[in-house]
């Protein structure tokens, strides 16, 4: 099962990489030095990010369903909690993708203050996501038991780490 999870998660992350690579190539080939920084197109459009997020959420739910073996009674309790968790996580990730959007739009021209602000915001999003995971571990454990809650936590974290690694590795370094 771990191998199947890794392959499926890597496929989801591959989509993120492909999107980020395409936009990075488009950004580098479309860059015009004479154009003012405010007139440059988004490296990642809001529509691109939203499509990516929907696809990743769908794949994540499928992976969890395939790897978290729940009885019918457990599934009845778990999935509404999961949906609530994902909705709260999406709000946190709205901020993350906003930060990524801002960074991608002007990474080459960031001031020291802007660069520090964006990296601090990204770190704050990571902290908020971690706090949300902790909050939901107790809720999930009450619904399906500690061992299955821990398995869910592992699955959720593995998927998140793979996606995060792919995103981070595709973003250009601050100039």
Q: Interior CA angle at 120 toward 116 and 124, to 5°?
A: 170
The answer as to whether 88 is a domain residue is yes
Is residue 126, in this structure, part of any structural domain at all? Answer: yes
Domain that includes residue 135, residue range: 2-170
**Number of domains within the chain:** 1
Note the pTM of the prediction, 2 decimals: 0.70
Evaluate whether residue 36 is within a structural domain.
yes
User: Which of 5-9, 31-35, 143-147 has the highest mean predicted lDDT (pLDDT)?
Assistant: 143-147
Asked whether residue 175 is assigned to any structural domain, the reply reads no
Please, where are the H alpha helices in the chain? 2-30, 46-67, 72-106, 112-144, 146-170
Q: Is the pLDDT score of 123 beyond 90? A: yes
């Amino acid at each position: 099962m771990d191998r199947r999870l890794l392959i499926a998660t890597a496929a989801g992350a591959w989509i993120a990489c492909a999107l980020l690579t395409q936009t990075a190539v488009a950004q580098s080939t479309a860059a015009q030095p004479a154009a003012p920084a405010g007139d440059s197109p988004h490296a990642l459009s809001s529509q691109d990010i939203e499509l990516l997020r929907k696809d990743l959420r769908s794949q994540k739910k499928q992976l969890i369903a395939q790897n978290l073996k729940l009885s019918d009674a457990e599934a009845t309790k778990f999935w509404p909690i999961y949906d609530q968790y994902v909705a709260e996580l999406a709000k946190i990730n709205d901020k993350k993708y906003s930060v990524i959007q801002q960074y991608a739009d002007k990474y080459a021209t960031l001031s020291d203050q802007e660069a520090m602000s964006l990296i601090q915001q990204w770190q704050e999003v990571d902290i908020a996501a971690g706090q949300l995971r902790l909050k939901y571990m107790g809720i999930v454990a009450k619904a399906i038991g500690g061992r299955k809650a821990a398995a869910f936590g592992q699955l959720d974290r593995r998927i998140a780490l793979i996606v995060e690694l792919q995103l981070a590795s595709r973003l250009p370094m601050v100039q």
